[in-house]
Structure 1
Amino acid sequence: MLTQFITRKRVSVLAAVIASAMSVGTAQADVDSIHFLVPGGAGGGWDSTARGTGEALAKSELVDKVSYENMSGGGGGKAIAYLIKTAEQSQDTLMVNSTPIVIRSLSKVFPQSFRDLTPIAATIGDYAAFVVPKDSKYQSFTQLAEDYKKNPRSVSVAGGSSRGGMDHLVAALAFKAAGGEPRKVKYLAYDAGGKAMAGLLSGETQVLSTGLSEALSLAEAGEVRILAMTGEERSKVAPDVPTLKELGYNTSFVNWRGFFGSPELSDKQAAEYAQVLEKMYGTDEWVSVRDRYGWTEIFKPREEFEAFLEQQEKEIGGLMKELGFLN
């Protein structure tokens, strides 16, 4: 064998070189650059997740270079198709996505699913919330639920997703838990959360189903009140907002957000991306970003993330069938 002809001195030198290389590898980030692909426009939840994550990675010097690309279209399908088509050239690209990739795949908005990509990690969660204008007659979600049970058509719910999309499903889930008929939700679909919020404030609808983090800024400005949120327990960034569970409605929901690589990404590369995202949690830069947006950490890397997606597919698929959106 070749190693039989290596002198003790050469072995020592070789060992030192290897040890040095390993030391450098653990001290520095394994990922030099990340190009974040955002399947929607600027200012939305996907965009803030990508840019907030990139900010934390860059400022903490875990990654040398970050860049961003917004690619709207097809409910996120355009970006997914692009990442698959350019798989070999997109080795440095991470696409942000969330629960809608499961919903829109089930409803055939686009033909692909998370199985056509390389799941890297779920990183954060954003709870859903139910929001009313500051001058609304509804002071609690309980009052809203009682009106809905008496006459579902008297309560119109705005959301930034299409019928059968996440905001619609969350409202149906909440009213079902309150004893109402989930199929009867009077849902008004708007093109993105900002337009749905505008519809609420203009009086076009009584309540908004949206993400908690998106509702916080307007609530802090005094324009709206948040009646309830869908966490298992109250959020640290919104301690005055009750959960549906504590109001007596046995349901909860979290909209995860995370990252996917191209289908051609190697296991080694995927593991490196997951590792650098995990390291990010221990930085002050990440804490600053996380608290700014009111996110909850739900880190699920690689296989754990994929198993989570499969379970969510079953649960959401069951609700969509109950609501008549799937056969």
Structure 2
Amino acid sequence: MKLSKISAFALAAMISFGPGAVTAQEREQVMDKVHFLIPGGAGGGWDGTARGVGEALVNSGLVETVTFENMSGAGGGKALNYIVENAQSNEGTLMVHSTPIIVRALNKTVNMGYRDVTPVAGVIGDYAAIVVGKDSPYQSWDELYAAYQENPGGVAIGGGSSPGSMDHLVPAAIMQAAGSDPLDMRYVAYDAGGKAMAGLLSGEIAALSTGLSEAIALSDAGEVRILGVTAPERVDAAPDAPTFTELGVDMEFINWRGFFAAPGLSDEKRAQYADLLKEMTTTEAWATVRDRNGWIDIYNAGDDFTNYLAAQEADMEKLMKDMGFIQ
């Protein structure tokens, strides 16, 4: 089951970085400041994306100062509600988001969606991964899946987001592609990637469903083993991690991540943000951040981005109905 067909957009506390981080590229500064709103806690994919983009913007000289605000809660709904309800004071804010802004609206985890904000641009694609802790008895996907087949309820898989989210849908789809009933899978939800990682290391869950960029960081730190990746071929940033296709599971998936602004933002300001992000993707500073995280460039902006979101919404709705996640 190639989920990439429905989402391979690539394939068709506060912290600030100040002006001292600017490199010698001498690019013309586009903005004085950008504030990033992150709908989850530290250590998750949204957090890493926003901070990576902020790093590249400053190090390329495009923005003087960037700030970050983590606002976790309600499966991303708290941040979404905040930027909508405080639109006038959030004109200088970009909220990072991804496929879950569609999924969580469909499964009613949140009461708003992408239509309630201003889509600016998709920037990266991130494959998904299944990982186990460094001391896990499971050395490979085959070992984990064998244990799962014997006792699905005894092999819990966790994720840093709510039930019915991408962290839930991806392993369920993997199990389905492997030949098992996806509804047999026991999913344990955590409010952020850091909490999910703690659950993995404590033994609360047998495996963790996460983005490849987070998996690479955890693997490099010696905390996890990556059992499988939803890429069509091995990723340079994780050359030892097999793809699920290699493992005999016909499943590919890539999750876009992009940025949204407050509702009612002027077309001029929307275009300014989109152009800023486009310029960033041409810099050496961005290439450093992108390659370090194993991300894929997927830049798509404005109406093209909005139209893509509408098409993906229709595809995801069908998938979730087929898998029994929504009626």
Query: Normalising by the residue count of structure 2, what TM-score does the alignment of the two structures yield?
Result: 0.84
Q: 2:267 and 2:98 mapped to 1: Cα distance? A: 22
Alignment of 1:294 onto 2:291:
no
CA contact (8 A) 2:231 2:253 kept: yes
TM-superposed deviation, 1:315: 2.8
- Counterpart of 1:213 in structure 2 is 213
RMSD: 2.1
Q: 1:300 and 1:145 mapped to 2: Cα distance? A: 37
- Pairing of 1:173-212 with structure 2 (within 5 A): 173-212=173-212
TM-superposed deviation, 1:29: 4.9
Q: Give the aligned residue type for 2:77.
A: G
- Pairing of 1:49-64 with structure 2 (within 5 A): 49-64=49-64
Q: 1:134 and 1:32 mapped to 2: Cα distance? A: 43
TM-superposed deviation, 1:153: 2.5
- Pairing of 1:52-91 with structure 2 (within 5 A): 52-91=52-91
Q: Give the aligned residue type for 2:261.
A: G
Q: Which moved more, 1:167-176 or 1:206-215?
A: 206-215
2:97 alignment partner, SS class = strand
CA contact (8 A) 1:149 1:179 kept: no
Q: Give the aligned residue type for 2:312.
A: Q
TM-superposed deviation, 1:135: 4.0
Q: 1:45 and 1:205 mapped to 2: Cα distance? A: 19
TM-superposed deviation, 1:145: 2.8
- Counterpart of 2:247 in structure 1 is 247
1:42 alignment partner, SS class = coil
Q: 1:157 and 1:300 mapped to 2: Cα distance? A: 33
Distance 1:189 1:266, change over 3 A: same
Q: 1:224 and 1:71 mapped to 2: Cα distance? A: 26
Q: Give the aligned residue type for 2:296.
A: T
After superposition, the C-alpha distances for 1:97-153 in whole angstroms (9 at most, x for unaligned) are: 112211211122222110111111111122211112334343322333344344422
Distance 1:71 1:190, change over 3 A: closer
Q: Give the aligned residue type for 2:121.
A: A
Distance 1:72 1:195, change over 3 A: closer
TM-superposed deviation, 1:268: 2.2
- Percent sequence identity is 55
- Counterpart of 1:141 in structure 2 is 141
Alignment of 1:323 onto 2:323:
yes
1:64 alignment partner, SS class = strand
- Pairing of 1:246-325 with structure 2 (within 5 A): 246-325=246-325
Larger radius of gyration: 1
CA contact (8 A) 2:42 2:193 kept: no
1:131 alignment partner, SS class = strand
Alignment of 1:114 onto 2:114:
yes
CA contact (8 A) 1:148 1:180 kept: no
1:54 alignment partner, SS class = helix
Q: Give the aligned residue type for 2:220.
A: E
TM-superposed deviation, 1:196: 1.9
Q: 1:191 and 1:78 mapped to 2: Cα distance? A: 12
Q: Give the aligned residue type for 1:265.
A: L
Runs of 4 or more, structure 1, over 6 Å off, are none
Distance 1:276 1:200, change over 3 A: same
- Counterpart of 2:14 in structure 1 is none
Q: 2:67 and 2:308 mapped to 1: Cα distance? A: 28
Q: 2:29 and 2:171 mapped to 1: Cα distance? A: 42
Distance 1:301 1:254, change over 3 A: same
TM-superposed deviation, 1:276: 1.2
After superposition, the C-alpha distances for 1:64-99 in whole angstroms (9 at most, x for unaligned) are: 332223323322222222222232333222111112
Query: Normalising by the residue count of structure 1, what TM-score does the alignment of the two structures yield?
Result: 0.84
Distance 1:221 1:35, change over 3 A: closer
Which sections of structure 1, spanning at least 5 residues, go unmatched? 1-26
- Counterpart of 2:12 in structure 1 is none
Q: Give the aligned residue type for 2:269.
A: Q
After superposition, the C-alpha distances for 1:38-80 in whole angstroms (9 at most, x for unaligned) are: 2223343222222221221122111233222332332222222
Distance 1:112 1:221, change over 3 A: closer
Distance 1:120 1:141, change over 3 A: same
Q: Give the aligned residue type for 2:195.
A: K
The structure with the greater share of residues assigned to helix is 1
